[in-house]
Amino acid sequence: MTSFESLGLCPPLLKALAGEGYTAPTPIQAQAIPFVLAGRDVQGIAQTGTGKTAAFALPILQRLADNKRQPARGGCRVLVLSPTRELASQIAESFKTYGKHMGTRVTVMFGGVPKGRQARAMANGVDVLVATPGRLIDHMQDRTVRLDGVEVFVLDEADHMLDLGFVIPIRRIASQIPAQRQTLFFSATMPTEIGNLAKGMLNDPAHVAVAPVATTVERVDQAVIFVDTARKRHVLFDLLTDHTTGRTLVFTRTKHGADRVVKHLEESGMPAAAIHGNKSQGQRERALADFRSGAVRVLIATDIAARGIDVDGVTHVINYDLPNVPESYVHRIGRTARAGADGQAISLCAPDERAFLKSIEKLTRNRVPVMNQPISGQRPQRAAA
């Protein structure tokens, strides 16, 4: 079996990995790390939960350590672009964790928090900057960030960047980075526009790909319940009160839908929290912390907010609304059945969502088994005040 030692990683990185309990690289890490260490551009296709962040963070940290250099004031040596606040925070934490024995300076910038603190963090320069495109462009316009010293440029979850309309901002950011650089480009899928974006940014890239959609889906026990929209909330409550249901992620298509589900559950006596774009950064962080600690067993999320949620022990994913983008289904259900654990994904499909289900089954090449409604027939009672 390939080991982190055999990949040529240095002792400080190996020490950090051992401290985190990581013993062997995942397939994407085993494939990508040697190319990144060799200085090659990389185009990677990998689903969520495959260990993608370490696949680029570990060799980047080693390259920084092998060639120590003081970044310019307001500058960075490595720029990582991420589509969401949660994922940006997670990536930055990974760099800090793996680089803790190397003195690596890492900072993160995203919207929803004051720009001044971020500008001060960048004042003397940093080794690694992880940013969302919108907030990075704000700082570029304020002249509190300079990108002329970037040596490594990472674009993570490029397909989700496309979903969020970030392609033009990405091109604008890339135009400010030196042409002589190493570029690492990761995406779960490769639609035409993303493929064109990659071609324009990569120079003779090495291609790595792991965990095709069907493989990711096969790890999860799936089911669909056909139910009228008006009855969804009652079916959800019955599913959540089943004794086999543990820590559960519930997905809705809209932010308002997420809030409505939380309100319904709390009125029925079940604590729940929501995470979506209308929540402040503090609210999102508290909701995630409560979900991780078990203070709340149920977290309601939209697709955009859910990118970057990496919580162990999620036993169930419930699609309260089916996504209208079939790839989102794969990302959603990939939040359970991690690290060899069992997991179940249950989708509530209203009559007007049948076309979404058909698209999902076409993408995954799997027919989702039908489950009977686990309905008590009783409307959940409002909890006593």
Q: Where are the domains of the chain?
A: 11-211, 214-364
3-state SS string over the chain?
Answer: CCCCCCCCCCHHHHHHHHHCCCCCCCHHHHHHHHHHHCCCCEEEECCCCCCHHHHHHHHHHHHHHHCCCCCCCCCEEEEEECCCHHHHHHHHHHHHHHCCCCCCCEEEECCCCCHHHHHHHHCCCEEEEEECHHHHHHHHHHCCCCCCCCCEEEECCHHHHHHCCCHHHHHHHHCCCCCCCEEEEEECCCCHHHHHHHHHHCCCCEEEECCCHHHHHHCCEEEEEECCHHHHHHHHHHHHCCCCCCEEEEECCCHHHHHHHHHHHHHCCCCCEEECCCCCHHHHHHHHHHHHHCCCCEEEECHHHHCCCCCCCEEEEEECCCCCCHHHHHHHHCCCCCCCCCCEEEEEECHHHHHHHHHHHHHHCCCCCECCCCCCCCCCCCCCC
Q: What is the pLDDT of residue 243?
A: 78
Architecture in CATH for domain 214-364: 3-Layer(aba) Sandwich (3.40)
Residuewise pLDDT in 10s, the chain (385 residues):
478 888 989 999 999 998 888 878 888 899 999 999 999 999 998 866 678 899 999 999 999 999 999 999 999 999 999 988 888 998 999 999 999 999 899 999 999 888 999 999 999 999 999 999 999 999 999 999 999 999 999 999 888 887 778 888 999 999 999 999 999 999 877 778 888 888 889 999 999 987 555 556 677 889 999 999 999 999 999 999 987 788 999 999 988 999 999 999 999 899 999 988 788 878 888 888 899 888 999 999 988 766 656 777 888 999 999 988 787 888 788 888 665 567 899 999 999 999 999 988 887 878 899 988 764 544 333 333 3
* Domains 11-211 and 214-364 agree in fold: yes
Angle between helices 255-267 and 232-240 (to 10 degrees): 60
Cα separation of 163 and 7, whole Å?
Answer: 35
Cβ 313 vs Cβ 341: under 8 Å: yes
pLDDT of residue 174: 93
Is CATH 3.40.190.10 the right assignment for the domain spanning 11-211?
no
Give me the pLDDT at residue 378, please: 41
Q: Is the pTM of this model over 0.85?
A: no
Tell me whether residue 158 is exposed, middle or buried, using C-beta atoms within 10 angstroms of its C-beta: 0 to 12, 13 to 18, 19 or more.
Answer: buried
